[in-house]
């Protein structure tokens, strides 16, 4: 039995689907039974529970050989860091109580740092808590910047006719599609070919610059001359609160972007076949970004 937390999220759903396709026995965890039906209809077992509750997670992990652990994105909360702490406490308590032997954990590039990376600090703390559990073999996935993060720029593109961002235009950085993270997690959950506590960065298909990203996204949405504009962090922070994020969460995102510009999110591994994933930004822009952009444009 393999347990998937965050089964309705981007990475968890991809992992669950991939494991079901392999014929693996899985248990999907979520708050809403109706949203888990897409998996139970294919043979998965459902567990409806709260990831902030250690006792409930211990029951979810009962009988499992391996678990996929991830903290759901909830930056709309004004207590996001405390929320991260409650979930990582619950996961650690449940892993210890259940005796599960293997965990694949969604962390982040830069999680080796204990400060200066905004929400990634909460993932660093989760790694440290899990490392203290005797008998647990844990693989900490540290993926690069999500391609899905470009979705936050849709309104900026429509208003400015440019892709706004925090990074320098010509600075290359690894970028990954979340489905590839889920597929990689599924592979390692099924094989369980790791021991002790180890990390694995995931770097997408290649490094890209924000200038390249603007061009790629622009071609996909019918704006081939779309430019990139690096904005001051104070302007971006105001834009984030204008989008509805609490001030505390906007400050965390700004800290993350500032940390990235200061080198705290620099990969620690050389690019290799193991940490390179297949989905290109061109594919993401055509298949995912453009349809969402057009839907929002049509609803304006």
Residuewise pLDDT in 10s, the chain (300 residues): 999 999 999 999 999 999 999 999 999 999 999 999 999 999 999 999 999 999 999 999 999 999 999 999 899 999 999 999 999 999 999 999 999 999 999 999 999 999 999 999 999 999 999 999 999 999 999 999 999 999 999 999 998 899 999 999 999 999 999 999 999 999 999 999 999 999 999 999 999 999 999 999 999 999 999 999 999 999 999 999 998 999 999 999 999 999 999 999 999 999 999 999 999 999 999 999 999 999 987 775
Cα–Cα distances in Å, from 216 out to 127, 211, 219, 279, 290? 35, 9, 5, 14, 11
> What are the φ/ψ torsions at residue 278 (nearest 5 degrees)?
-85, -30
pTM: 0.96
The CATH code of the domain at 2-148+175-202 is 3.40.50.720
């Amino acid at each position: 039995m393999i347990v998937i937390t965050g089964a309705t999220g981007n990475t968890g759903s991809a992992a669950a689907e991939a494991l079901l396709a392999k014929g693996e026995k899985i248990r999907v965890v979520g708050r809403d039974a109706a949203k888990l039906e897409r998996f139970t209809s294919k043979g998965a077992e459902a567990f409806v529970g709260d990831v902030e509750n250690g006792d409930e997670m211990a029951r979810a992990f009962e009988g499992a050989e391996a678990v996929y652990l991830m903290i759901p994105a909830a930056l709309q909360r004004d207590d996001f860091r405390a929320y991260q702490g409650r979930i990582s406490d619950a996961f650690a308590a449940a892993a210890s109580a259940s005796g599960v032997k293997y965990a694949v954990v969604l962390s982040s590039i830069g999680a080796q740092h204990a400060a200066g990376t905004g929400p990634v600090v909460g993932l660093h703390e989760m790694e440290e808590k899990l490392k203290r559990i005797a008998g647990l073999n844990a693989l900490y996935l540290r993926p690069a910047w999500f391609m899905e993060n470009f979705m936050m720029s849709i309104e900026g593109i429509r208003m400015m006719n440019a892709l706004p961002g925090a990074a320098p235009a010509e600075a290359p950085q690894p970028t990954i599609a979340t489905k590839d993270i889920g597929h990689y997690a599924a592979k390692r959950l099924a094989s369980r070919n790791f021991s002790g506590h180890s990390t694995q960065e995931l770097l997408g298909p290649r490094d890209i610059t924000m200038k390249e990203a603007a061009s790629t996204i622009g071609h996909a949405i019918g704006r081939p001359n779309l430019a990139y504009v690096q904005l001051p962090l104070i302007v971006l922070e105001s834009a984030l609160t204008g989008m509805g994020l609490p001030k505390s969460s906007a400050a965390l995102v700004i800290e993350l972007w500032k940390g990235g510009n200061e080198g705290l999110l620099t990969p620690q591994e050389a690019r290799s076949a193991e940490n390179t994933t297949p989905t290109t930004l061109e594919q993401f822009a055509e298949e995912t970004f453009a349809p969402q952009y057009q839907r929002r444009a049509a609803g304006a």
